Structure 1
């Protein structure tokens, strides 16, 4: 009788695990993301790496769902399930995984801080103003609004992006103005107008869910509920500092007094080092400046 009771319990236990493996999968990916918070990779690459790593645990459960007998068809269905799961978890995880939110938000803030810490290019602003004055086209309003967003002038950025949407002859089509709308939503996010930003994301996703837009929405939703990125705390190691400081002192005790020959050699080395650094600075100045807006442009691209 005991054996008869064990079998149904075992069946329901396995069946329940199979049905809930997606939640377990998300939890395992989140744990993996926690270990990679301080890596230099992009948020996409970090997520992809954790998704693939945890797939080794859940691949058999995915295959168990497929009813196809033909091996080729079974493979095709299995790949489709994996793609859909990858896209879905990519934005669903933001709602529940603090580590994932932190990774995405920190990298975004790093890019913005890198750009906004530089001196404002007044010549660039003048050129953008001239373009709008000569050709008040919606694309020129957008370009200027995007630049204002990069430098942190959110009020002017909002005005230009709204004007861009207004002047676009296809403004009735939300897909035609998706790029402008996404930028406006990000401006609202920085202004803490979270409900307005969420409304834009919901409008874009009203017909078909775009994973990238859904991810941005999830981030704003978390912020609207009070979750915020924790500020970076510089790590100080007093022991290592004191130890490193004590070593030169100990060496100084045992080191004999410098002779005039030693001082001359040291002076020559310092001069050579200064000359090398000067040449390096000149070479850097001659190089073409990098486009620091490039890393942020991916935030405005929609997935195909």
Structure 2
């Protein structure tokens, strides 16, 4: 019994170490691809996606080697989830490990701020001053806070956001105050109060697909001297739960009568002819969506 436990522990440790090994190599290869791309042209999101698409197939064997599963269908699905987890992680981990990628993400964010400031005038503030004077509610203060930020009035922005949160009936609900807290975190970063900004990002972080917040947190943490050890925890994907969910959907379709399927097909066809074409969502489409980076 002890021998069996020892063997299992050894295999588990080996699997984890090997997985981390290929993940580190994957980051290195992606960064090298991005560096090469940046020498040719200004790095863009499309360039990042191209590097992911070019590099991922090279690691297919190593990814699948980590999956211990006898059922062929389950092994395939777990392989897709492993790829999904890897691609999601790269969008944040590369901020710490790849300077050219960090500069790309930082440039996108900073350029949005500078363009907004270029297009905002002091006279724009008068309208929101009147709004606050007439109806001093949470929304009025938040709207004025955004204008204050675009004008570069950081202290005034912070005061308006705090007032907005104070008046918000849902101030303790991170989901309801997400936009306010995102702006407040940016205000803290502008003041180099990085620890406070990171605390807010942690508060409003919704999970492994919330790449917008994960990237913003990584940017602030890196500027504060942080390393990948401080990265936001995305949480492991519950593969069994995902598989059961997919199986239930399949079984549900299998239990549907031929007549019901026919009716649904006709209804779907009529709907498509009456409306603009929309790309259908399938389980496999989620992997493709990972190549769309969050903006922030």
Secondary structure of the structure 1 residue equivalent to 2:196: helix
Secondary structure of the structure 2 residue equivalent to 1:49: helix
- In structure 2, the partner of 1:140 is 140
- In structure 2, the partner of 1:95 is 96
Contact 2:145–2:160 (Cα < 8 Å) also in 1:
yes
TM-score by length of 1: 0.63
- In structure 1, the partner of 2:166 is 166
Contact 1:33–1:50 (Cα < 8 Å) also in 2:
yes
Instruction: Give the whole-Å Cα distance in 1 for the aligned partners of 2:34 and 2:157.
Output: 34
Instruction: Give the whole-Å Cα distance in 1 for the aligned partners of 2:20 and 2:42.
Output: 35
How big is the alpha-carbon RMSD for the aligned residues of Structure 1 and Structure 2? 2.7
- In structure 2, do the counterparts of structure 1 residues 121 and 142 end up closer, same or farther at CA, with 3 Å as the change threshold? same
Contact 1:148–1:157 (Cα < 8 Å) also in 2:
yes
- In structure 2, the partner of 1:214 is 214
- Pairing of 1:178-217 with structure 2 (within 5 A): 178-205=178-205, 208=207, 210-217=210-217
Contact 2:185–2:198 (Cα < 8 Å) also in 1:
yes
- In structure 2, the partner of 1:175 is 175
Q: Which runs of 5+ in 2 are unaligned?
A: 1-13, 228-293
Contact 2:43–2:104 (Cα < 8 Å) also in 1:
no
Deviations 1:230-253, CA, capped at 9 Å, x for gaps:
xxxxxxxxxxxxxxxxxxxxxxxx
Deviation at 1:30, TM superposition (A): 1.3
- In structure 2, the partner of 1:111 is 112
Deviation at 1:152, TM superposition (A): 1.6
Deviation at 1:68, TM superposition (A): 3.1
- In structure 1, the partner of 2:151 is 151
TM-score by length of 2: 0.64
Q: Which runs of 5+ in 1 are unaligned?
A: 1-13, 228-296, 300-304
Deviation at 1:18, TM superposition (A): 5.2
Deviation at 1:119, TM superposition (A): 6.0
- In structure 2, the partner of 1:62 is 63
Q: How many residues align?
A: 214
Deviations 1:28-63, CA, capped at 9 Å, x for gaps:
1111222334745644x4433222211021111112
Contact 1:42–1:107 (Cα < 8 Å) also in 2:
no
- In structure 2, do the counterparts of structure 1 residues 159 and 168 end up closer, same or farther at CA, with 3 Å as the change threshold? same
Contact 1:142–1:160 (Cα < 8 Å) also in 2:
yes
- In structure 1, the partner of 2:223 is 223
Instruction: Give the whole-Å Cα distance in 1 for the aligned partners of 2:38 and 2:143.
Output: 33
Deviation at 1:115, TM superposition (A): 2.8
Secondary structure of the structure 2 residue equivalent to 1:20: helix
Secondary structure of the structure 1 residue equivalent to 2:24: helix
Deviation at 1:109, TM superposition (A): 2.0
- In structure 2, do the counterparts of structure 1 residues 37 and 166 end up closer, same or farther at CA, with 3 Å as the change threshold? farther
Deviation at 1:91, TM superposition (A): 0.9
